[in-house]
Amino acid sequence: MRSITRSVAVATLFGFGFLAPAAWATPVLDQEYTPTPSIQYAAFSGGSFRRAETFTVGIAGTLAEITVDTTSSNSAFTGVNILSTSGGTPTTTVLDVGTFDSTNAAGVSTFTVSLPVTVGEVLGIEPIGNNGTDWLQHSTYPQPYAGGSDFVLNPNVFGPDFISDYAGDGFATYVDPPGSSSVPEPMSLAILASGVIGLTFAHRKTREREFLPNE
């Protein structure tokens, strides 16, 4: 009985390897723009007024995360639209809607998205929410970010389409390259292997006990 108890204990200990969450590969930073010290503040999309920053994809895979630089740690963002573009200008077609995660003490808001992307594809980022937080922006000409630019849409003033705002909003995009999210990191593989060994050991000891004379 003692041998069986010890075997079960060992199996339980190693078996926890199966319950541990897999440590997946971290998304890779693709595009990034940080405003220079000459910063102005720009409201993000809310109501009929909309604004978007375009960017050019540099890594093929799945767009997994987007961050935007704001003026406050108390972000009022509720999500982010990933827009298609035409001739480099955002359209109103939403390809994916990202989920707002959090805003840290430095005012960086993080959004989770999941959209297949290809190298050279131009997309628009449109954070949405309630007024109360501004998007950090560097207003200059020519555009400070070579892979895209800032746009606004105000139907009451400019009409139903986005127009260039000649600025750049702070942002970063992160991509999961093909296959990266399906391969656990080495630690996860080690934990999984230990679980298999533990269960095999317990099964073997139990079978041996079945063939021993009764004590």
For residue range 80-89, list pLDDT tens digits in order. 999 999 999 9
pLDDT at 129: 83
- Looking at the fold, whether 34 and 46 belong to one and the same domain comes out as yes
- Looking at the fold, whether 148 and 65 belong to one and the same domain comes out as yes
pLDDT at 62: 97
pLDDT at 204: 54
What is the domain range of residue 112?
A: 28-181
pLDDT at 214: 55
Q: What residues pair up with 110 in beta bridges, in sequence order?
A: 67, 102
Specify the residue for token string 């720009």. 42
Phi, psi of 79 (to 5 degrees): 175, -170
pLDDT at 84: 98
pLDDT at 6: 47
- Looking at the fold, whether 98 and 196 belong to one and the same domain comes out as no
- Looking at the fold, whether 106 and 158 belong to one and the same domain comes out as yes
pLDDT at 20: 46
- Looking at the fold, whether 14 and 106 belong to one and the same domain comes out as no
| Stretches in the chain below the pLDDT threshold 50 | 2, 4-23, 181-183, 185, 188-190, 192-193, 195-196, 199, 201, 203, 211-212, 215
- Looking at the fold, whether 166 and 190 belong to one and the same domain comes out as no
Please list, in sequence order, all residues whose beta carbon lies within 8 angstroms of the beta carbon of residue 108, skipping any fewer than 6 positions away: 67, 68, 69, 70
- Looking at the fold, whether 40 and 138 belong to one and the same domain comes out as yes
Q: Is 160 contained in some domain?
A: yes
- Looking at the fold, whether 123 and 168 belong to one and the same domain comes out as yes
Q: Is 14 contained in some domain?
A: yes
Query: Exposed, middle or buried: residue 141 (CB in 10 Å: 0-12, 13-18, 19+)?
Result: exposed
Q: Is 147 contained in some domain?
A: yes
Quick: pLDDT tens for 86-117. 999 999 999 999 999 999 998 899 999 999 99
Q: Is 215 contained in some domain?
A: no
Specify the residue for token string 């963002």. 77
This prediction's pTM: 0.72
| H-assigned helices in the chain | 2-15, 186-210
d(CA 102, CA 24) in angstroms, rounded, equals 20
- Looking at the fold, whether 73 and 9 belong to one and the same domain comes out as no
- Looking at the fold, whether 34 and 86 belong to one and the same domain comes out as yes
pLDDT at 148: 92
Query: Exposed, middle or buried: residue 131 (CB in 10 Å: 0-12, 13-18, 19+)?
Result: exposed
Phi, psi of 174 (to 5 degrees): -130, 135
- Looking at the fold, whether 77 and 146 belong to one and the same domain comes out as yes
pLDDT at 180: 60
- Looking at the fold, whether 35 and 103 belong to one and the same domain comes out as yes
User: How many domains does the structure of the chain reveal?
Assistant: 2
